[in-house]
Structure formats: C-alpha cells, structure tokens
Structure 1
Amino acid sequence: MSIDKTAIRHAATVIVIRDRMTNPAILMGQRGANAAFMPNKFVFPGGAVDAADAHIPLATPLTAQCAARIGEDADADLAHAIPVAAVRELWEETGLILGTRGTWEGDIPPDWETFAATGHVPHAAPLQFVFRALTPPGRPRRFDARFFLLDADAVASDPDNFDAACDELSHLQWVPLTQARKFDMPFITEVVLAEVEARARDLNAPTSVPYFKNNDEESLFLRLHGHAAPYTSKP
C-alpha cells in the first residue's frame, strides 16, 4: 500500500457569526476557479500557519480552556501560533480586524505590515476553538485545520466593509445560517456547519471539541477534552 507523502500544514479557519440570538448569519466567500485547494467552493476565511506567526505577540491569548483543547494531540506551542494565524487570515481574506488599539514594537513581518498600519495589535481571547479536521490522504494539499467561532461584535472594524480584503476569496457575504447549505461547499465545511448550527446561540466555548482525524490508516471522529498542561502566550 502506498503512503501519502503530501506534507501536512497546520491551518486556522475563522467562522464569524453575527445576530446569533435573532437571525444568525455567517461570513463566507468563494475560492477561485484556479485554486489548487477546493476551487470554486464557498468556505470560511482561513489558511496555513506561517513561521512568523509563532513570534507575533498577542494583546490577549486564547482562553486557557481553548488553549488546552488545541494542545491535545499536538505541540502545545501551537496554542499561540494557530490563533495568530487566524487573526492574520481573517484580515487578509476579509479585511476585518480582530485586535485592540496598540503600538507594535520591533520589526514587523511583511505579512503583518498592513494589519499593523491600522493601529491595532492582534488579540485572540474572542476566538472559540470549536472543531479540528485533518485533510484525508490523497488530496493535493493537506491541512490540520483548527476552526474558530468568532462573534462579529468582537471585530474592531465595520463587519460589512471588506475593502481591505485580498482577492483570494470572492463574493464575500453574510449568509443566513438557515440558507448556508444551499451553497456549494466542501464536505468538511458542511460538517463544521452542523457544529455551528448547534452552537449558534451558545456563547460558551465547548467543553470538548470534535476532531475529524483522517490519518494514513483510518478516519476517526474523536473529541478533544484538553489537558492540564499550563499555557502562557508569548510576549
């Protein structure tokens, strides 16, 4: 039996939700027709963790509970890099700012220059870790993706202004949760959507997180309960 050699990259995805107590809607966009990964599909904003993300300071870290869930079956240091990537990808793909007013110190990595120019520093406390999925073998790209639920009220910019977004996602729009399944989306997005539907009106982070683990031997549907290892965000 051949073994898939595609490198697995850590990734972060952000599910921004608004009006969750009345008429919940989620932010989605469409990937380009020429994209190597999931072309033409409607997805949530997100992408791979960059090396620089591990060294970006956060004004506020993830909650200890969410950090513990991320640290299970993974390097505990990812509890810093992954939410940083979530903030960066949200900014790059939608132009929305998840940050607090502040001044950056030292050199600013190129991928963060436009974010820093807004006068904000990233913070992760509003992000709720709600799902993890490993891309099955045989795909052109594989990601170990962590999905975060984010209330639109925590965004520091106008949630309807996508002018600063790059062109990676088109047709950015707020989709009523009841209408989302009418869009052409990847299978894993549909699975995560079910979790979002169940949690839409629950403001608390989940006590355990679903993990769709597709390794080279089998596909497992697990739950991450976290562990007691201490976590401190990097300064």
Structure 2
Amino acid sequence: MTRHSPTRADDNPGGADAGGRKPRRAVRPKDAASLILWRDGPKGIEVLMGRRHRDMRFMPGVLVFPGGRVDLADYRARLASDLPATTRRMLEISARPSLATALAVCALRELEEEAGLVLGQMVAGRLHPALAPLHYLTRAITPADRPMRFHARFLIAEARHATGDIRGSGELEEVRFFALTEIPAQPLAKITAMILEEFVAWMALSPQARGRRKLFSIQGRDNRLPEGAG
C-alpha cells in the first residue's frame, strides 16, 4: 500500500472503508487482502491489529488488520515459497490463478509496510514473500452503495513465521497483538467483528477439518452466504 498522509481516507479492507456520498452507480470492488497474524499469549489467542490513525475523517481509532489493495507489483514479486494447495484452491474460488498469488503477496507486503513484520525474506530492500505458511479464512465484498469498495480476502498465518520488530505506519498506530478477550472493548467495525468470529471458529477446528470445511463469504450488508450462493 502506498504510504500517504493520515488525513486521507485509507484503503485498508480489514475493517472500515471510506465514507462519503453514495455513488450514482455501483463501484467495482477493488481486489484486496488482509492478514490475521496470530499467536498464543498469556491471556489466550492474540491477533495482530492496528488502530486507524485518529486524524482520519472516517472511523478514526478503529481496530483493523494489516491489509490493502492489490498492486501491480504484487503480480511480479519473487517468492520465497508458494501457496499450499488447499489455500490456493480456496483463493481460486473467487480469483484467477495469477490474482490468487497476488492476493497472498499483497497480504504479506501490507504486513511489512504497516506493521514492520516480514514473512519471507528482505533482499535489497524488496520483500520475497513466503506464502507457504498462509491459510485461507474467508472473503468479504463491501456494499454496492459505498463510494470505495473492496473484494477482500482474509488470510491467516501463525506469528512464529514472521520476523522483525513491530512498528506503526502513517495509516495505523498502536500496532500490537491484542488478546481476543480484550478486543470487544475496543472500537471495532461490524465486518471486523464478523471476520474475528470466522477466525475463532477456524481455530476450533482440527487442521484436517480446516481444509474440508464449508466456505462462506460476507457480502453487502453483512450477509454471510455459502460460497456459490451469491
């Protein structure tokens, strides 16, 4: 994601999207990806999140996951490792093969840009993303009457695969691991809460069941639909 002034509406699909006047016609959703990086903490499962800058004009201070729009460079990134077959299969339900890879690259690029953590290798200042640790969770498409729309895919990785020191960015501040038990007390968009519910359900499954589970997408006004139903 291109860094910009925190006074501009950002393009992070991990929670809130930009407000404004309703468009005259439906805007085509932009392909995007977010990463749920998790670890075991003293109070149970923790996930990496950041707070939208308090100077943003829409939903300041709301917690989101690192994420953003797919860039052209995401299609050309040199990979440290490729996607697992199951993760690729799930991504390709809604994306052609080249986009499926670019979405995964996007999620890891955003992790580095917004949180300072690297999942892969930094070579001459460029990220060579390692896609092998990634799991697929779900996808969400924002409502047709929004001026900024995203078709966001949410991926999962365990924090032990990441290296580096956490830092904030011009878009996100207070980037840290939040215990699932403390998140309900934080400002949170409804879609982010729904994604967290999907994550909690995913964590409760065995590794074998995760690969066989029925997939859902979240569309429009928080409609949770089985894949293929909408």
- TM-score in same-fold range (> 0.5): yes
Alignment of 1:175-194 (within 5 A): 175-194=178-197
Distance 1:132 1:82 in 2: 11
User: Aligned residue for 1:195?
Assistant: 198
Two-structure CA RMSD over aligned residues (Å): 2.6
Distance 2:200 2:102 in 1: 27
Partner AA of 1:46 in structure 2: G
TM-score by length of 1: 0.77
Distance 2:220 2:98 in 1: 22
1:45 to 61, 66, 75: 66
| Deviations 1:150-169 (CA, angstroms, capped at 9, x unpaired) | 11111123xxx224x42210
**Count of aligned pairs between the two proteins:** 203
1:62: how far off?
Answer: 1.2
User: Aligned residue for 2:154?
Assistant: 147
User: Aligned residue for 2:172?
Assistant: 169
Q: What is the SS of the residue equivalent to 1:78?
A: helix
Alignment of 1:1-235 (within 5 A): 4-19=25-40, 23-35=44-56, 38-100=59-121, 103=123, 113=125, 116=126, 121-157=128-164, 161-163=165-167, 165-200=168-203, 202=205, 204=207, 205-207=210-212, 208-214=214-220, 219=223, 221-223=225-227
C-alpha change, 1:80 and 1:86, in structure 2 (3 Å) is: same
Distance 2:196 2:176 in 1: 16
Distance 2:45 2:94 in 1: 32
C-alpha change, 1:86 and 1:176, in structure 2 (3 Å) is: same
C-alpha change, 1:202 and 1:222, in structure 2 (3 Å) is: closer
Does the CA contact (< 8 Å) of 1:37 and 1:140 recur in 2? no
1:22: how far off?
Answer: 7.3
Q: 5+ residue gaps in structure 1?
A: 105-112, 225-235
Q: Percent identity among equivalent residues?
A: 32
1:36: how far off?
Answer: 6.1
Partner AA of 2:93 in structure 1: E
1:51: how far off?
Answer: 1.1
| Deviations 1:65-120 (CA, angstroms, capped at 9, x unpaired) | 1111111133232111000101100000100010047x56xxxxxxxx4xx2xxx6
TM-score by length of 2: 0.78
C-alpha change, 1:36 and 1:7, in structure 2 (3 Å) is: farther
Distance 1:182 1:78 in 2: 36
